[in-house]
Structures are given as C-alpha cells and as structure tokens.
C-alpha cells in the first residue's frame, strides 16, 4: 500500500508543490555511504549504504530540480538571507572508503560539491566504528538472518545510549564469545574500511570539504564534559593538522546533543552544527541545531522526491502515521 501511495504522490507531482513552498529554505541531505549489495553476514542490513545506481538517480533528480551549493557557503547564505531558490547541500557522515570508490565519481560526473564529516580515529587510526564491530560479530553467529538482525538491532539500541567505556566493556565479550573481531579491513572486512589520508587530500583538491564528527563517534550527551570536549576539540585539531582548513560546521554523532554539548561545540570554534532532525532550514533555524533529511534506505526515487521536498515529513505530522523505517 505504501508503494502505491508514493507512486500516486509522485504521479500527481505533490513533491513539486512542497518544493515550491519550501523554495527559500536550505535542504541538507545526509548520506552514510554508497556501495553495491553483498550477501556477507548481515552487512548493511539497515541500508545506510545505498546502491551506486540509486545514488546516481538521486543526483540526476537533484540536478533537475535543485541548486546544489557547498555546505559552508549555503550556511552563510542562509544566515544572510541570500539563498537561491531550492538550495540544497549534500553531506556524508563517518568517512567510509566507499565514498571515494562509488560516490565521488558520481559527484564529479554531476559536478556537485559535498561535505564529508569524519570520525578522526576511524580514518586516521583505522579504529573500526563500534556499530560495525557489532554488526560484523553478530553476522558470524550460526543463526538465521532474521535472528541475527534482531539481535544486532537490540544490542545496538542498548549500547548506543552508553558512555564510550561502558560500550567497549559490553562489546568486547560479545566479540570474544562469537570469535569474530573486526580488527582490520582485509578480505571480507573491507566493506567496513575508512578513507585514507591520501584519498581525503585528493578529494579536497577537487572541492570536497571535510568536517569534524568527533574522534571515536561517541554519543556526546553520554560523556563527561572533559571527555566530550576532547572528542570535539581533539578531532578538530587532528583534522586541521593533517588536512588544513575544515568546515566551520560540526556534525553530532547520531544527531545527539544537549545544551552542554552545544556550548562545547561553540567553544571549539565552530559556527554551527548538524543534527538528524528532519526538515528544511530557514533563517530562523538555530545554527547549532541544523536539520537534515536522512537518505539511509531511500533507493526508490518516489520516496526520495517526497522526502527531500518535505512532503513526507508533512504527511507524517498531519496523519500521525510513520513512514517506512529508514
């Protein structure tokens, strides 16, 4: 039924109507990665890495209907109320190597800028993200795919709300019990690999901006103030040491923040910060609570059009009916 609903919305051009009404706002898209399907373990079962074919279709749609700007420039124009009509910025979180392999060639083909927010320990120290360690380990269990996905989802929800040290304390026994640890990115583990420094520098030379996303991708509100400050300031410092100037905008891991976190981001010298709150940004949007539309799992162009236009969010609000999980 939902498929039919989105086909109807697309056929009637409802997304064009919402795009018109939101024409003077800034739409920011959130991607995590672009990668082809694989049948190993339960890799990418949450669909945070969309297919190259879907990403190309997204960019084609954007090219026809939006004005794509570098994120920092669009943020400045938002504050100055000088945005062009249908302004849009593209962002990626974390720093997966598949950005370089699959997303970058398509961005170059469409001549579109993007900003990628890097977890500095992931890309510079090659420390796997804990969510990937969990997914890899659970994926090796001798259970049905459905059972493995259910277990990973349950544990992911539990661990995400824990301080970093407690999360690590809980995760290590799980890995030992299963006998599967994402300790490197060789062989079948390459799908979880991060960008390397030379790839990042090459990307910067052709207009890709990098930004801070903490050191370890920790949930900042669950850390002490000194720990959170080190995650924020430490990542900014090391990225600047390796790559020079970075984005003036910070990106909260998991989109989570509180007032203390916000103040620490300000003290670190950032001009704004991005959340995972859905919606478009207008001149009155709080600069440290900027909104984005998540593209995870959005491989259908009809849902994509409804999402980035704001139609999907509006219909959820007025009907109190949740859309497809993404």
* SS3 per-residue string spanning the chain: CHHHHHHHHHHHCHHHHHHHHCCCCEEEEEECEECCCCCCCCCCCCCCEECHHHHHHHHHHHHHHCEECCHHHHHHHHHHCCCCCCEEEEEEEECECHHHHHHHHHHHHHCCCCEEEECHHHHHCCCCCHHHHHHHHHHCCCCCHHHHHHHHHHHHHHHHCCCHHHHHHHHHHHHHHHCCCCCCCCHHHHHHCECCHHHHHHHHHCCCEEEECCCCCCCHHHCCHHHHHHHHHHHHHHHHHHHCCCCCEEECHHHCCCHHHHHHHHHCCCCEEECCCCCCECCCCCCCCECCEECCCCCCHHHHHHHHHCHHHHHHHHHCCCCCCC
pLDDT at residue 119 in the model: 98
pLDDT at residue 40 in the model: 84
pLDDT at residue 320 in the model: 64
Q: Same domain, yes or no, for 150 and 58?
A: no
Using 70 as the pLDDT threshold, list the residues of the chain that sit under it.
1, 320-326
pLDDT at residue 326 in the model: 33
The number of folded domains in the chain is 2
Q: Same domain, yes or no, for 165 and 202?
A: no
**Does residue 98 sit within a domain?**
yes
pLDDT at residue 164 in the model: 83
**Does residue 58 sit within a domain?**
yes
Longest dimension (CA), the chain: 57
pLDDT at residue 208 in the model: 98
Q: Same domain, yes or no, for 95 and 171?
A: no
**Does residue 86 sit within a domain?**
yes
**Does residue 54 sit within a domain?**
yes
pLDDT at residue 196 in the model: 97
Q: Specify the pTM.
A: 0.95
Q: Same domain, yes or no, for 221 and 236?
A: yes
pLDDT at residue 322 in the model: 47
**Does residue 50 sit within a domain?**
yes
Q: Same domain, yes or no, for 163 and 240?
A: no
Q: Same domain, yes or no, for 169 and 41?
A: no
Q: Same domain, yes or no, for 215 and 280?
A: yes
Q: Same domain, yes or no, for 60 and 166?
A: no
Q: Same domain, yes or no, for 12 and 144?
A: no
**Does residue 140 sit within a domain?**
yes
Q: Same domain, yes or no, for 108 and 250?
A: yes
**Does residue 280 sit within a domain?**
yes
Which CATH number do you get for residue 36?
3.20.20.370
**Does residue 302 sit within a domain?**
yes
Q: Which residue range forms the structural domain that includes residue 172?
A: 129-182
At which of 182, 217, 252 does a domain end?
182
At which of 140, 166, 182 does a domain end?
182
Give, rounded to a whole angstrom, the gap between the first and last alpha carbons of the chain: 17
Q: Same domain, yes or no, for 119 and 98?
A: yes
**What are the tokens at 91?**
């962002």
pLDDT at residue 1 in the model: 67
Q: Same domain, yes or no, for 165 and 60?
A: no
The residues pairing with 49 across neighbouring beta strands, listed in sequence order, are 33
């Amino acid at each position: 039924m939902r498929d039919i609903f989105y086909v109807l919305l697309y056929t009637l051009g409802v997304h064009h109507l919402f795009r018109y009404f939101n024409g003077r706002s800034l739409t920011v898209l959130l991607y995590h990665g672009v990668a082809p399907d694989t049948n190993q373990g339960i890799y990418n079962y949450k669909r945070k890495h969309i297919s190259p074919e879907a990403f190309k279709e997204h960019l084609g749609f954007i090219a026809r209907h939006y004005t794509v700007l570098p994120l920092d420039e669009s943020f400045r124009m938002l504050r100055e109320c000088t945005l062009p009509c249908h302004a849009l910025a593209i962002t990626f979180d974390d720093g997966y190597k598949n950005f370089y392999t699959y997303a970058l060639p398509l961005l170059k083909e469409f001549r579109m800028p993007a900003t990628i927010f890097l977890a500095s320990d992931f890309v510079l120290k090659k420390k796997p993200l804990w969510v990937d360690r969990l997914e890899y380990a659970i994926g090796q269990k001798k259970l049905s795919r459905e059972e493995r996905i259910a277990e990973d989802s349950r544990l992911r929800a539990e661990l995400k709300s824990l301080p970093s040290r407690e999360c690590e304390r809980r995760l290590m026994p799980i890995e030992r019990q299963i006998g599967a640890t994402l300790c490197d990115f060789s062989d079948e583990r390459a799908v979880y690999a991060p960008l390397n420094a030379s790839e990042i520098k090459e990307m910067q030379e052709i207009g890709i901006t990098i930004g801070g996303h903490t050191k370890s991708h920790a949930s900042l509100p669950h850390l002490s103030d000194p720990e959170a400050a080190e995650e924020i300031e430490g990542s900014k410092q090391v990225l600047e040491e390796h790559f020079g100037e970075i984005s003036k905008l910070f990106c909260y891991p998991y989109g989570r923040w509180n007032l203390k976190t916000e103040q620490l981001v300000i003290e670190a010298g950032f001009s704004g910060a991005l959340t995972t709150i859905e919606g478009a940004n207008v001149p009155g949007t709080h600069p440290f609570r900027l909104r984005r539309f998540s593209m995870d799992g959005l491989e259908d162009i009809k849902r994509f059009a409804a999402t980035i236009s704001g139609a999907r969010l509006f219909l959820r609000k007025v009907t109190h009916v949740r859309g497809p999980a993404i």
